[in-house]
Amino acid sequence: MWDKSPTRRIARFALLLAAALILSWVEAILPFQIPVPGVKLGFANIVLLYVLYTDSVPSAVTFGILRALLSGFFLGRLSGIFFSLCGTVLAVCGMALLKKCRCFSSLGVSVAGAVLHGVGQLCAASLLLTPAVWSMLPLVGISSAACGVVTWLPLRILGRYEGILEPLGGKNMNKD
């Protein structure tokens, strides 16, 4: 699929990280906002899912952490870095487990990752703010699941051309 030399892997990783940061910036300037606090469409998660399906789990975890840190710095959201990191780590670990057990399609992995990201952010908010934020779990869960479907669609299109995802209604062809 792609050359695995160290230099090319680093260059590919950097380009994908740049693409994710650009998508984060685009999402930040769009006037569309989801009315649930802390929930975004998560355009950058398209690239994170791509990394998870084309590379290793450690690469996906590293990618997620770097994206959370860098987007916080570049977009001036330093106070949100802890929230983003908690959500990202929980989401990537959960998605990696679901992908590995092959119980879920890439759509299920994407939706679960979005919901887990929201749960991770609620964990951070309950630690920093108040445990009362858990009352928002149903709203965060439903809106995050919808966002997981939205971020899966571009990955689905890209995955069909690169052969990294299962065919719709077919056997799982994920490469581990």
Reported as a single tens digit per residue, the pLDDT across 90-142 is 999 999 999 999 888 899 999 999 999 999 999 999 999 899 999 999 999 99
pTM for the complete prediction?
0.85
Res 166 pLDDT > 50: yes
Inter-residue contact 141 to 122 (CB < 8 Å): no
Length of the chain: 176
Q: Which of 150, 158, 69 is nearest to 111 (CA)?
A: 150
CATH number assigned to the domain with residue range 6-162, chosen from the 4 options 3.40.50.300, 1.10.1760.20, 3.40.605.10, 3.40.640.10: 1.10.1760.20
Annotated domain spans of the chain: 6-162
Cβ neighbours around 148 below 10 Å, total: 27
Query: Treating both helix axes as pointing N-terminal to C-terminal, what angle do 106-128 and 81-101 enclose, rounded to 10 degrees?
Result: 150
